[in-house]
Structure 1
Amino acid sequence: MPTEQEIAMEQQVETRARRLWRAVEPVHAVTYFAPESKEACDALGTKGFWMSYFALRAAPLGAAPAELVTALFYNFHPAMVARAVPDVWAVAAPERFVAARLEAVDAALRRLLGADVLSSPEVAEAAGIARDAALAAPTAGRALAAANAALEWPDAPHLLLWHAQTVLREHRGDGHVAALLSAGLDPVEALVVFAAGGSAAAEKLRERRGWSEQEWAAAVDRLADRDLLDGAGAITDAGRALVVEVESQTDALADVPWAAVGDARAERLVELVEPLVAAIVAGGGFMVDNPMGLRPLTSAG
């Protein structure tokens, strides 16, 4: 359950871009959280969840080295990335992982939503709005967004919706990295201060991103030296203000696509995807306890 602090912050800073991210992101998240994706990667020869994750997310870049993947994904420990990349490209070519993730997402959405829903005019309408937003997303300086935008667009409406959101979420993520850099937060410091602000449980976040207890503690000390955390490791007013600044900048950088489609169509997309997201969450296609601290925007929350 979200803390009172999380809910208050959400209500305080929720913008059009953040609202759309919360509304549509679970459509993309099946890429990693639905079992079909890991099964597809296992069939190609990957070992474990993280090898499949790095393969599926990095594949649009081509056979990228670990250093590039680490740089673009930003908050994973370099050694964690290096355990999967570039070995994964010896398992199968990036193009095969691109194809595998599309096939897996297709299977997952068919299972979670059903054929009648996927063939509905509502899904087709949602896909059209999301596509227009994604096509309006600028990719200059945004490598992950550009790599996904360069892929062939699917024809089926539910896959078109998924692909559009994939471009949009990587567009947002690339902008988030720019905001973190502007704030002077290195990868582990970003995790520490956001965990201290209540976005995610610190220990789970540390483990999921591969940082040691010593590296985490050193980041706490650096942040305390900047008065962003206090002596006990709790976030200060200055730290909370910096988190809000980073999130506000992230939202501002992510808003261009939604400005292009306009408020009416953006809100129509929220309305159209709400039952889809509710079914995805109910069917286990989205990790509720996720490292992003994302609470899906549904009628329940």
Structure 2
Amino acid sequence: MVDSTARDMWERFEPVHDLVYFAPEALRAAEGLGMRGYWMGYFALRAAPLGPVGPSVVTSAFSVFHPSRVARALPDAWKYAAPAEVLAARREAMDAAMTRLFGAEAARSAEFAEAADLAWEAAASADTTGRVLAAANQALERPGRATARLWQAVTTLREHRGDGHVAVLVSLGIGPVEAMVLKAAAGESDGAFLRETRKWEPADWAAAEAALRERGFLAADGSLTRAGAEGRALVERRTDEAAARPWRGLGAERTARLARLLEPLTRAVGESGLLPPGNPVGLSPRTSAER
């Protein structure tokens, strides 16, 4: 039987991490820094742990964005705010967003602090070899406030999983657009939403579909073939395996405890309506308000 711990934990902490993209406090923080538009703020807030890097590094690390999407934001973002300023602003924004969304009393509770400490321990045990985004986030100073500490910990864990996912795709010869086509064909995300927000042209999407049909992964109607479904399952299985070490380090009992502590937070994000339709990260319905 495949151990589902890594995937189950990801589905609990991913919505909490995603507040940095969709919470109004994060958007206001980016505006306050002088960022020009949503995407400059997105790339600055996410890439800041890497330092004042240029578009080629971020295009490589983030994987799924067209280079022109990144180049419109970086390195110009660093003219408005240095990475250290961006990191401070995102920490304050996440503290404010989590306090508002989860409630001040909950954010100051012993249970919240326990969740933050457990998540921090798991993130600290993550192997960041070959995982640039995870390593950069893991190296950041431990925040004193439980809200900021929890958010930073789950962000390290999220980037750790994402770095591993990209490595799996590369090892299997699946390119960025092909990966998104497979995700959409599997019914996990909306293809048009992925293509448009990642700034790929229809021709790029069509070329990826053609490559997947040639590989036997995609049927003429755009659905997954049996080989495609198996290939997609292999990607997810290997991603889960690559993301398992933090949970082995934390141990089954404390991992289960963290899962219980994260459950109401995940539900609150799902019920908030902040996460956009189109499900860009492919979360299962149980992480929505129905959970």
| Superposition TM-score, scaled by structure 2 size | 0.95
Trace 1:76-87 onto structure 2 (pairs within 5 A).
Answer: 76-87=65-76
The answer to whether the 8 A contact 1:34-1:284 is kept is no
1:222 to 183, 203, 211: 211
Picking from 166, 169, 180, the partner of 2:158 is: 169
Q: Shift in Å at residue 289 of structure 1?
A: 3.6
Quote the Cα distance in structure 1 between the aligned partners of 2:289 and 2:220: 40
Q: How does 1:47-62 map to 2 (within 5 A)?
A: 47-62=36-51
1:39 to 10, 28, 53: 28
Deviations 1:157-215 (A, max 9, x none): 12111111011000000000001011111111111111111111111111111100011
Give the percent of matched residue pairs that are identical in Structure 1 and Structure 2. 49
Contact 2:112 2:261 in 1 (8 A): yes
- Output the amino acid matched with 2:141: E
Distance 2:134 2:92 in 1: 20
Secondary structure of residue in 2 paired with 1:17: helix
Give the partner amino acid of 1:112. Answer: L
Aligned to 2:181: 192
Report the secondary structure of 1:291's partner residue.
coil
**Structure 2 counterpart of 1:165, one-letter code:** V
Cα–Cα, structure 1 residues 280 and 247, in superposed 2: closer, same or farther, change >3 Å? same
Judging changes above 3 Å, is the alpha-carbon distance between structure 1 residues 223 and 299 closer, same or farther for their aligned structure 2 residues?
A: closer
Report if aligned partners of 2:112, 2:146 keep a CA contact under 8 Å in 1: yes
1:236 aligns with 2:225: yes
From the superposition, tell whether residues 234 and 300 of structure 1 become closer, same or farther in structure 2 (CA, over 3 Å).
Answer: closer
RCO higher in structure (CA 8 A, sep ≥6): 1
* Residue of structure 1 equivalent to 2:138: 149
Partner-residue secondary structure (3-state), 1:57: helix
Counterpart residue number, 1:300: 290
Q: C-alpha separation between the residues in 2 aligned to 1:88 and 1:230?
A: 42
Displaced runs of 4 or more, over 6 A: none
Q: Deviations over 1:206-264 (max 9, x none)?
A: 11111000111011111111111122322111111011000000000000000111111
Counterpart of 1:22 in structure 2 is 11
SS in 1 for 2:18: helix
Match of 1:6 in 2: none
Q: What is the Cα deviation at residue 13 of structure 1?
A: 6.8
Question: Which residue number in structure 1 is paired with residue 168 of structure 2?
Answer: 179
RMSD: 1.6
Q: Structure 1-normalised TM-score?
A: 0.92
For structure 1, list consecutive stretches of 5 or more residues without a partner in the other structure.
Answer: 1-11
The answer (yes or no) to whether the contact 1:110–1:118 under 8 Å persists in 2 is yes
Q: Aligned letter for 1:268?
A: R
What is the 5 A alignment of 1:119-130?
A: 119-130=108-119
In the alignment, is the contact (CA less than 8 A) between 2:33 and 2:80 conserved in 1? yes
* 1:256-275 paired onto structure 2 within 5 Å: 256-275=245-264
Contact 1:274/1:299 (<8 A) preserved: no
Describe the superposition over 1:93-139 as per-residue Cα deviations: whole angstroms up to 9, x where unpaired: 11111111101101111111121101111101111211110111011
Question: 2:229 is aligned with what amino acid?
Answer: R
Shift in Å, 1:285: 4.1
Unmatched 5+ residue regions in structure 2? none
Q: Structure 1 171/119 Cα, relative in aligned 2: closer, same or farther at 3 Å?
A: same
Mark the CA change 1:263 to 1:298 in structure 2 (over 3 Å): closer, same or farther.
Answer: farther
For 1:251 and 1:275, locate their aligned partners in 2 and report how far apart those are by CA, in whole Å.
23
Q: Which residue of 2 aligns with 1:72?
A: 61
Q: 2:271, 2:289 within 8 Å by CA — same for their partners in 1?
A: no
**Which of 81, 84, 100 is 2:89 aligned to?**
100
